[in-house]
Amino acid sequence: MAFERYSISGILSFAAPLFSAPVLAGWAVAPWAVLPVFATLLGAQTTLTRRMPGRTGAAIASALAVLIINAALVGMLMGLGRGLAVLTGSLPMPIWGPVLICAGAAGFAIWRYRWTPEQAEMDALLDQMTATITDMASLPEIDTPHPPPQILKTLALLRNQPCPDLDTLAAGLYDALDSDAFDWLYDLDLTPDDPLRVSGRQDMLLLRLLAIPRLRHVQSELGGTGIMTERALVSPHPAVRQEVRALMDQMITEDCESDCFPLLHDLEAAEASFPMEFDGLTAALRAHIAKQRLAETGGTG
């Protein structure tokens, strides 16, 4: 958020006028006698916004070091301003102008960033939270589970056999993995140019798995049946579209719940695009849904 205490905009809100004031003074060719004023203002801002040593001697030594460093910094900034005056001419500004700018910026910084024990505790808490977030970001990523051997074996057969027996492969996967076979096959991270995706064999095998009644029942509860049939409606492969048509006809015959099917709007679009495969399917599904709703209302709909 803009102008938060430690955001870039928040820090610039005091740092920009604080350090530009000596430059303006030099540009206005102010006398060097004003240098201690700027050094004192910058030194006050520095010492009052950080924790000073507890012992008196150490605190005095630290304050003197801050004053000397800021005097050198102000000297360089005023020198920069004098250089600008040589190049562009002196700036018509009274000497008190840059001093007021610097004093206002220093006062604002001291008011907003003044060190207190409570503020120190808050800063420590923020530092701890930041460190925790950083540590969490650096944690190693959790490895994606590897597909079980039966899935890998099936993939090899799909890729290498010219005409694999999809019913046999689906039955083997179901026997080995039960309804999880569908999830493993559906969630495969295949590249767009993978032969299984290009040929449509992955979708064909998924639809054959859904043809197994018990697996289809489980996936219907989980939403997998509706997602897969919707995906197959727009497949570029006629064999996949024919397969999903046969599956949906079977589901209508078996009186499956309406939420197992694609949305009517999507089915209408598919029927318009592929009338050869989906002719009459929208009307059949609409009648099926109406029949189920009538049954739910006890025939009074």
Statement to judge: residues 101 and 163 lie in one domain: no
Q: Could you give the number of structural domains in the chain?
A: 2
Which tops the pLDDT comparison, 56 or 119?
A: 56
pLDDT for residue 232 is more than 50: yes
Which of 42-51, 144-153, 213-222 has the least mean pLDDT?
Answer: 42-51
Averaged confidence pLDDT in the chain = 84
Average pLDDT over every residue of 179-193: 88
Of 84, 108, 137, which residue sits at a domain end?
137
pLDDT given at position 1:
46
Query: What is the per-residue pLDDT across 23-78, written as a single tens digit (0 to 9) for each?
Result: 999 999 999 999 999 999 988 888 877 766 556 677 788 778 888 998 999 999 99
Statement to judge: residues 242 and 285 lie in one domain: yes
Q: Give the domain range for residue 14.
A: 8-137
Statement to judge: residues 59 and 120 lie in one domain: yes
Statement to judge: residues 281 and 159 lie in one domain: yes
Statement to judge: residues 65 and 156 lie in one domain: no
Statement to judge: residues 185 and 226 lie in one domain: yes
- Is 133 part of a structural domain of the chain? yes
pLDDT given at position 78:
92
Average pLDDT over every residue of 83-109: 90
Statement to judge: residues 263 and 187 lie in one domain: yes
Which tops the pLDDT comparison, 214 or 113?
A: 214
Statement to judge: residues 93 and 22 lie in one domain: yes
Query: What is the per-residue pLDDT across 235-294, written as a single tens digit (0 to 9) for each?
Result: 999 999 999 999 999 999 988 888 888 888 999 999 999 999 999 999 999 999 898 888
pLDDT for residue 173 is more than 60: yes
**Residue 71: exposure state from Cβ atoms within 10 A (0-12, 13-18, ≥19):** middle
- Is 144 part of a structural domain of the chain? no
pLDDT given at position 63:
78
Of 117, 137, 157, which residue sits at a domain end?
137
